[in-house]
Structure 1
């Protein structure tokens, strides 16, 4: 009897970076195979954050990052992560990470880390009336019968169970062209009790759907002929501890699109309604004339 590989375990293995014994603060990572041969942006973002996290005390966790996707990466080539120690204060540490292939940057990211400290504590409430994850069809349900590399990736290799409230736009355009959506996410396998890793995996997962509200607002699907779409930059703020192996709700919107670019925004809630993160991403989104 053969056992199917756990896609979450595969991602966890890819996120294990190797130290360079000859060069401090330099790490090397590998990439997951992708249908188009390009490095997944969420993967390199998560790896860059983990590299930065290796250079700060364990007591300091990331509370924000700002990254720019500069070039497409090649999944066949290793990625070097060079970390620059910008500042270590009494409460905060700042790090810049460049992800490099062939001596050129494919991602540049700055992240800030903070000691756990008391202070003002409030948050927006999760919207009401949203069906729970058990009431929503998964990507596996929608795509498992389709013989296509992208469909096979989402059903067999994707590390997260993704469930769109009100229907996905993988195959068909939305019923109404609105710029909002809600999506449930959870890793398909367990994740070790490491808060830095969970926060990095949240960054990994976010990149999968951050630009979808733009497609919805335009009345398009991922199958639109001639669609050209790519992440340009990514900003993220972690407000509280998070576990990606528990259900998380992404409440998404798109405030603007212009010049072949669109902005996606999201708030991330736990199933009990706790706001754990906020995210923004701008992407290139072009349709055929």
Structure 2
């Protein structure tokens, strides 16, 4: 996948009936299905059973089993409630006889009300002054660990530009924060809000556990730590333009018991807060004897 058009072919599911949909998978460099893909595909399924007058405002999900890249994923949607202002859907994802994922999503009619938001971090470098993942690969590829280099080599429909590049060879603990600019590749100007939210959900599973691994970087890295998304929640606040750079600002308040917790805020380039994310992930040290 190299553009938003390729990504949408992945996220827009095949309809089996009004409440059952099938999806295929694409690797992002891992041997199992990317969590962001399952999240976004489940939201696509849920959204197609709700009135277009209601937009997604929150979702909460659990990853139960790793997905197999070679098998279809079937998404079953259950209507939990259609009230005067809110609609709630439950989605379960299956491969063969196994339930691999569950999600609850809530949709809300457009209403006027009070408005405030937190501010974006001041003083961050702008994306024009930073290296993308592709440029990091071009400049430092031979010095990167083999697994990280292979991950960067995968073609993606999104450009990522971290505000700080942490050298994995330094083996030095760093603060539990991470800020990454991102932008979709291709033309996204005519997309409706539901589609943009699905793309944003896909992107939200990238990078977030980095902030939980940072404080342990002197001994922990992607090669000696088993990581996986365990759960994922997201709240959607405002409409946005996908054609410009956006900032994903992440922090990890805690890690313990082989789990890391992280939360993130997604801003437009001009500082409008469009979504918040929370995730707990597996961070299990691998005992290499």
Aligned-residue offset at 1:174: 7.1
Aligned-residue offset at 1:190: 2.1
Asked if 2 retains the 8 angstrom alpha-carbon contact of 1:247 and 1:270, the reply is yes
Alpha-carbon separation, structure 1, partners of 2:46 and 2:262: 25
Tell me the TM-score normalized by structure 1. Answer: 0.91
1:111-147 CA distance string (max 9 Å, x none): 0001111001111111111111111111111124648
Question: Equivalences for 1:82-231 in 2 at 5 Å?
Answer: 82-144=76-138, 146=141, 151=149, 154-168=152-166, 171-172=168-169, 176-191=173-188, 192-219=190-217, 223-231=221-229
1:24-81 CA distance string (max 9 Å, x none): 3000111113433311100010000010000001111100000001100011111101
Alpha-carbon separation, structure 2, partners of 1:244 and 1:103: 37
- Of the three residues 22, 35, 51, the one matched with 1:28 is 22
Asked if 1 retains the 8 angstrom alpha-carbon contact of 2:62 and 2:103, the reply is yes
Paired residue for 2:44?
A: 50
Asked if 2 retains the 8 angstrom alpha-carbon contact of 1:11 and 1:32, the reply is no
- Of the three residues 11, 15, 20, the one matched with 1:19 is 15
Question: Equivalences for 1:226-245 in 2 at 5 Å?
Answer: 226-245=224-243
Paired residue for 2:54?
A: 60
Aligned-residue offset at 1:195: 0.9
1:76-123 CA distance string (max 9 Å, x none): 111101000000111110000011101211110000001111001111
In the superposition, relative to structure 1, how do residues 155 and 168 fare at CA in structure 2: closer, same or farther (>3 Å)? farther
Alpha-carbon separation, structure 2, partners of 1:14 and 1:265: 26
Q: Structure 2 regions of 5+ residues with no counterpart?
A: none
Aligned-residue offset at 1:6: 3.0
SS across alignment from 1:157 = coil
1:241-288 CA distance string (max 9 Å, x none): 123332111111101111000101111111001111110000000224
Alpha-carbon separation, structure 1, partners of 2:71 and 2:89: 25
1:9-30 CA distance string (max 9 Å, x none): 221111121111xx43000111
Count of residue correspondences? 282
Paired residue for 1:251?
A: 249
Q: Structure 1 regions of 5+ residues with no counterpart?
A: none
Asked if 1 retains the 8 angstrom alpha-carbon contact of 2:28 and 2:156, the reply is no
Asked if 2 retains the 8 angstrom alpha-carbon contact of 1:139 and 1:161, the reply is yes
Asked if 2 retains the 8 angstrom alpha-carbon contact of 1:94 and 1:113, the reply is yes
Alpha-carbon separation, structure 2, partners of 1:238 and 1:92: 14
Asked if 1 retains the 8 angstrom alpha-carbon contact of 2:236 and 2:274, the reply is yes
Paired residue for 2:63?
A: 69
In the superposition, relative to structure 1, how do residues 16 and 173 fare at CA in structure 2: closer, same or farther (>3 Å)? farther
1:286 pairs with 2:284: yes
Tell me the TM-score normalized by structure 2. Answer: 0.91
Asked if 2 retains the 8 angstrom alpha-carbon contact of 1:67 and 1:110, the reply is yes
In the superposition, relative to structure 1, how do residues 176 and 221 fare at CA in structure 2: closer, same or farther (>3 Å)? closer
Alpha-carbon separation, structure 1, partners of 2:256 and 2:220: 19
The RMSD of aligned alpha carbons is 2.1
In the superposition, relative to structure 1, how do residues 72 and 132 fare at CA in structure 2: closer, same or farther (>3 Å)? same
Structure 1 window deviating more from structure 2 (242-251 vs 44-53): it is: 242-251
